[in-house]
């Protein structure tokens, strides 16, 4: 038993020792592989961390990333444009030279009125005939007085001639000759007076009829046959001399400074699409103290559509100017006034205050604040902040 026990102990001891050594060797190999794999992974992580650390320290890389994330805005360099200024103002049509025509003489009862409103008349044409039967009789009587005065003058001359023949014989004194000469001269003077009175009566009789003082277009007729008129009566007719019309355009004090005589204008009647060409022929020398407005008188050729008293709108050429023109989307405004955003060399949005001028078909004129060489943000300016980085894109076309 002891032998067997000793043998068994000796047999089992080497076997256990060999197994434990093999297990130890296998565990050592696995651990080394794990350590190597972990070292490789750790090295890769260090390399990746170093790369990003170096990349974050590169300002160009950061700038490119920021630029890629910046908002895209459309910009344009507008330059300078010559603008034909136009001033649009209201007003009314009137006769350029309106002539009221009334009674020149004593007047009387109107017999006939051969013309009516809307007709053309020539200078001296009879507009209204007034009864002048009394004046005709007065002319006849005065003509007879002239004949009487001539007869008296003829008799006075004959008496003087006979006296001159007798004075040589001593029958007539020199004093008698002087008296006869004075009588002859008085008679001749009475003839001239009678002739002058006849001319006056004829002139007054001629003035009885109402005549046109100049050629023109009859705008109004305010008399009818049977009406009694006199020198104190209101005007019987109104005539537009030569048919010339005009528009009385009401312009503000500032607009008045932009206008000058001779500039062209286009007049459009209220309720009509028809336009008429004219030009400013007079600017009022004064400005109304209450409305701060003046009158620009636009001369117009005759047209039947132009009726005095009618309303119209005038578009007057206010001269040309050179300015930067921007679309309305580019011009912003707040409590500080109008402004635009421009993009500087660093692609930063910069606020620029501007002064706007007249509105044109192409946009709003900028009279102050821009030279036209700047890159101006056309749209989305209301969403930008001063100093914000943007990605500018020039407008196509």
- pLDDT tens string for the chain (397 positions)? 333 333 333 333 444 444 344 444 444 454 556 666 666 776 666 666 555 554 444 444 444 555 557 788 888 888 887 776 678 889 999 999 999 999 887 788 898 999 999 999 999 999 998 887 777 777 888 888 888 888 888 888 888 888 887 777 767 777 878 888 898 898 899 889 988 988 887 877 777 788 999 999 999 999 999 999 888 889 999 999 999 999 999 988 878 887 888 888 999 998 888 899 999 999 999 988 888 899 999 999 998 899 999 999 998 887 667 788 888 888 898 888 899 999 988 888 899 999 887 777 778 888 888 888 888 898 776 778 888 888 888 876 5
User: How many angstroms separate the CA atoms of 204 and 168, rounded?
Assistant: 50
Considering only CA atoms, which of 317, 252, 287, 298 is closest in space to residue 94? 298
Strands 72-76 and 126-130, bridge-based pairing: unpaired
Q: Are 202 and 139 in contact (CB under 8 A)?
A: yes
User: How many angstroms separate the CA atoms of 187 and 156, rounded?
Assistant: 7
User: How many angstroms separate the CA atoms of 118 and 310, rounded?
Assistant: 16
Q: Are 63 and 277 in contact (CB under 8 A)?
A: no
Q: Are 109 and 130 in contact (CB under 8 A)?
A: yes
pTM of structure: 0.54
User: How many angstroms separate the CA atoms of 99 and 120, rounded?
Assistant: 14
């Amino acid at each position: 038993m002891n032998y067997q026990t000793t043998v068994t102990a000796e047999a089992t001891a080497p076997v256990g020792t060999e197994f434990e050594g093999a297990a130890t060797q296998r565990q050592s190999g696995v651990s080394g592989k794990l350590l190597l794999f972990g070292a490789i992974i750790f090295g890769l992580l260090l390399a990746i961390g170093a790369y990003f650390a170096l990349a974050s320290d590169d300002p160009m890389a950061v700038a490119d990333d920021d630029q890629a994330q910046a908002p895209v805005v459309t910009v344009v360099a507008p330059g300078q444009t010559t603008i034909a200024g136009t001033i649009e103002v209201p007003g009314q049509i009137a006769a350029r030279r309106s002539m009221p025509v009334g009674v020149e003489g004593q007047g009387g009862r109107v017999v006939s009125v051969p013309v009516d409103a809307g007709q053309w008349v020539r200078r001296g044409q009879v507009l209204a005939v007034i009864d002048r039967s009394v004046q005709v009789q007065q002319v006849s009587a005065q003509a007879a007085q002239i004949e009487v005065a001539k007869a008296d003058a003829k008799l006075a001359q004959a008496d003087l001639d006979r006296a001159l023949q007798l004075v040589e014989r001593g029958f007539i004194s020199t004093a008698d000759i002087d008296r006869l000469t004075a009588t002859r001269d008085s008679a001749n003077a009475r003839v001239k007076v009678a002739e002058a009175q006849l001319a006056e009566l004829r002139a007054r009789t001629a003035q009885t009829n109402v005549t046109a003082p100049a050629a023109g277009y009859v705008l109004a007729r305010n008399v009818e046959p049977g009406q009694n008129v006199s020198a104190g009566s209101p005007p019987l007719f109104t005539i537009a001399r030569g048919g010339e019309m005009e528009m009385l355009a009401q312009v503000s004090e500032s607009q008045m400074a932009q206008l000058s005589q001779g500039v062209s204008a286009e007049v459009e009647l209220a309720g009509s699409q028809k336009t008429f060409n004219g030009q400013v022929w007079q600017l009022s020398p004064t400005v109304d103290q209450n409305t701060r407005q003046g009158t620009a008188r636009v001369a117009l050729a005759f047209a039947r559509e132009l009726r005095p008293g009618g309303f119209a709108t005038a578009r007057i050429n206010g001269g040309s100017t050179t300015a930067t023109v921007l679309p309305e989307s580019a011009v912003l405004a707040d409590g500080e006034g109008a402004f635009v955003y421009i993009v500087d060399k660093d692609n930063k949005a910069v606020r620029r205050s501007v002064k706007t001028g007249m509105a044109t078909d192409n946009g709003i004129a900028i009279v102050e604040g821009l030279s036209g060489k700047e890159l101006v943000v056309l749209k989305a300016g209301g969403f930008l902040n001063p100093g914000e980085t943007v990605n500018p894109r020039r407008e196509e076309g």
